[in-house]
Structures are given as C-alpha cells and as structure tokens.
Amino acid sequence: METKIVLSELEMPQAWYNIAADLPEPPPPVLHPETGQPLGPADLAPLFPMALIMQLVSPERYIPIPEPVFDIYRLWRPTPLYRAHRLEKVLDTPAKIYYKYEGTSPAGSHKPNTAIAQAYYCQQEGVKRITTETGAGQWGSALSLACNYFGLECKVYMVKVSYHQKPYRRSLMEIWGAQVVASPSEDTNAGRAALKANPNALGSLGLAISEAVEDCVQREDTKYLLGSVLDFVLLHQTIIGQEAMTQMSKTADFPDVVIGCVGGGSNFAGLIFPFLGEKLRGGRSARFVAVEPEACPSMTRGIYAFDYGDTAGMAPIAKMHTLGHTFEPPGIHAGGLRYHGMAPLVSHLYNLGLIEATAVHQTKVFESALTFARSEGIVPAPESAHAIAAAIDEANKAKESGEARTILFNLSGHGHFDLGAYDAYLRGQLEDYAYPEDKVKEALTHLPKV
Ligand SMILES: *Cc1c(COP(=O)(O)O)cnc(C)c1O
C-alpha cells in the first residue's frame, strides 16, 4: 500500500510553468494607482527587481529556475506527496485522497519557493535592503530565511493581530536576522494615520503592504517584495504542481478534483496551474476548487472589479475579486487568508469559469484540522486546513453517492506556530464570524474610479 510518493532530485522541474502561455484570453491590464493608466515595466522598477518585472510580461511557457535558486530548493525539495490512507479510513470514503506537503521547508510553508527566487534576483541587481509585510508571519519568515541566504537586510511589517497571536513567528524572523515591527506602526505615514484613526486597529495585510511600500520607495537601496497575489509569485509556486503531476504519474490515479486554500492565491495557483495548463492544452481534465474563509470571502462574496492592492491606495490597481481595499477582515486565526482581494490571475480564471470557489467557517476548519492531525499525524496550518475541510467535503460526497473519485489537495504548511489557535479551539473558545456584509458594502463604496 503506497503512502508516500517521492521524487529524486533528478526528477525536479528545471523551470517554472507560466500559465500566460496557455490562457484562452489575457487578463485585464494592471493600472497605475495615480494615473489609472496601464502599468509599464518602468513604473514597477522602484519596487521590484527588473528580472521579476520581466517575468510579469513573459510569454514563454517555461521560465528556467536559476541555478543558485535550484540549489537552495534542493535543501527540502522535491516535497513529498502522500496518499491519505488513514484519513480515508476514518472518513469511510470510497474516494482516494492525496496531498502535497509543503511544510517541509525551513519556514514551514510553500512561501520560500518564491522568497528564495525574489531575494536572489534582488541580490543579482545590487539591492541591499528589502521591506515587506506579513500576515500570519509565514511570508515574513520565508523572506527572512531567503534574505539571510543572500546577505540582504530585511524589515518586516507584521499585522498587529498576528504579532500578538504569534510571538514565535516573530522570533523566527529575528533568528534569521530580520527586523520586525507591528503594523500599524509609527514608522510610516500610512501607519501613523491608521493609529490616529483607531489606536486599537488590529491591522490588515492591505495596510501592512502600504507601510512596506512607503518605506521602500523612500530609499534607493531598498526593494519591496510580496509573498502572494502577483503573477511572478504564482509562477514560482508552480514547482509544487509540476512535482505533484510527476508524483501522480507514479500512481495509477489522476485527480478528479484539485483543491487549495486561498489568501492571495499563490499556493492554490502553484498546485493547480500545471494541471489546468494540461486541460487548457486539450489534455486530461480536472475540477479546481479554491477555499477561503467565510469571514473574508473575496471570491464567493466579493465583486470582480478594479481595486487597489493595498489599503492606502499606493499599490497598483488590478481587476480582481475584492471586498474593497479598505475592508478590515475579522481577526480569524488563519491570518494568512485575511486579504481583501485575490490574485488577478486566479480572479481571471474564476471569471472565465475555469475554477470554482467555496467558503468555510473557522470552527469547521479546526474540526477538519483535528480530524487530519488525528489520522495522518501532521498538524496543519489553519490556512491549509481550509483545503482539508473542502477535501473532506468532497470525500463525504463520494461516500453519499457511492462514486469513486480522486482528490488532491495542497497542505501548504504545518501549524507548529499556531498552537495558540489550536488551544483556543480545544477549549471551546473559538468563534465563527458571520460574513461582515455591512462592512463589505461600505468598503465597496471606496473602489477607485477607472
Ligand atoms: C500564506 C499562506 C497561505 C495563503 O497564501 P496564498 O498566497 O493564498 O497561498 C496559505 N497557507 C499557508 C501555510 C500560508 O503560509
């Protein structure tokens, strides 16, 4: 009975997969936050290294992974793909459940896949210092790790609610040499304005992005890096799906449904894009399901509109599924999923009807996480547990209908830094947040006019 499907280093993909080459139609343009005109490479140059900007506009289906990046990937990649025999048994389902596990990286999630690449390109272009934001602390730790490998300074604006919920994520970033401040902070205009408006603000990813961008554009030696949402981030994550395809080919199965949780959309895209690409090229077909929190449901309840990527309106404007850039999501424990928008590429695919979306309440997420931890052993990140909840739903549907089906989901990270949240759940202190309809309605009145 095979449980763990491993690859050798020689079977690791040598290139990232660029879904732009296979899209039935290109996504809408990204616009300048001040002029409202389509962005060109020169507009992005103050923020990102040129190599990443060029990846945003590349038409090539495959983009080679630079050797120094590949060398670091090899420290924990290829990551394992598991058949969840024990979970299947507990669920008493005829479905076959597979999961790709990204928690084996030093930072404990998929995020180093892009952090390593982004830090490498910065170092190549002579950058000395990086600013960024982090929600749950996963991206901040991944980037701290990456900056440490490449000798870059790193300043992280960490959403305040997570800063207090997850002090050990901060420790981890500091171990790798980064400087961490709670956002909203006193270090930027955006942060000071937010504190003035509400001294008890919990912060949000959107606001932390505003702070990190403001800090970056004030210094010549600094670039701003982002751990999700952008096309090049999704691109770097496709190593996950490419490995998973090779691993699935070593079994007798092919997934009927591929599932990932979505905050900004990168681990979902990383897993599904290579499978979706095959489907778009006329090959084997699967369903694709994005899973988001009921408290921050940008795909299932948001609208598809042009909106700012950040709260202060300094970041580029993109067409995406959004709850409004001023929306401050409730302080759910899956901090990595508290983002008002969605990756423009994922939004585009959703709009074209090529992928599905569903939303789950946080107590159901933790119930699923425990079912998983008590069968498979791995303690999942609360973010990843959204994907588990949807996978369990699919397995239960298979049981009801008596139909066999093969399910593949992304276990994007482990939950070793989320034990506070697990504690709250085990003590019955975790609440569900109703979908904050009025707050979203209000936030949607502030969309940019384009
Ligand atoms: C950050 C994070 C997410 C959400 O981000 P995406 O870009 O949507 O993948 C999901 N899972 C884990 C473990 C994370 O760290």
Domain membership flag for residue 185: no
Domain membership flag for residue 159: no
* Residue 349 identity: L
Contact 228, 264 (CB under 8 A): yes
Q: Give residue 134 CA to ligand 1 midpoint distance, Å.
A: 11
What are the DSSP calls for 146-173, one per residue?
HHHHHT-EEEEEEEHHHHHH-HHHHHHH
Tokens of 280: 């778009």
Backbone angles phi, psi at 56, to 5 degrees: -65, -30
Domain membership flag for residue 124: no
What is the number of the ligand 1 atom nearest to the C-alpha of 138?
15
Q: Are strands 129-134 and 153-159 parallel, antiparallel or unpaired?
A: parallel
Where residue 243 sits, what CATH number does that domain have?
3.40.50.1100
Cis peptide before 316 (omega within 30 of 0): no
Domain membership flag for residue 385: yes
**Burial (CB count <10 Å: 0-12, 13-18, 19+), residue 208:** buried
Domain membership flag for residue 342: yes
Residue 71's domain comprises: 67-108+232-446
Contact 75, 113 (CB under 8 A): no
| End-to-end CA, the chain | 57
> For atom 10 of ligand 1, which residue has the closest CA?
383
444 DSSP 8-state letter: G
Ligand 1 pocket mutation pick from 114, 162, 230, 266 by most atoms within 8 angstroms of CB = 266
Residues in the chain: 450
What is the number of the ligand 1 atom nearest to the C-alpha of 413?
13
Domain count, the chain: 1
Tokens of 444: 């949607």
Q: Hey, is 356 helix, strand or coil?
A: strand
Q: Give residue 267 CA to ligand 1 midpoint distance, Å.
A: 6
The interaxial angle of helices 205-217 and 189-197, nearest 10 deg, is 140
Say what the pLDDT of residue 182 is. 97
Domain membership flag for residue 215: no
Domain membership flag for residue 139: no
Low-confidence ranges of the chain (pLDDT < 70): 1
- Separation CA 243–CA 350 (nearest Å): 24
What is the number of the ligand 1 atom nearest to the C-alpha of 263?
8
Say what the pLDDT of residue 352 is. 98
Contact 237, 114 (CB under 8 A): yes
Domain membership flag for residue 220: no
Using CB distances shorter than 6 Å, the residues near ligand 1 are 109, 111, 138-139, 228, 261-268, 336-337, 381, 383-384, 412-413
Q: Give residue 45 CA to ligand 1 midpoint distance, Å.
A: 26
Say what the pLDDT of residue 412 is. 98
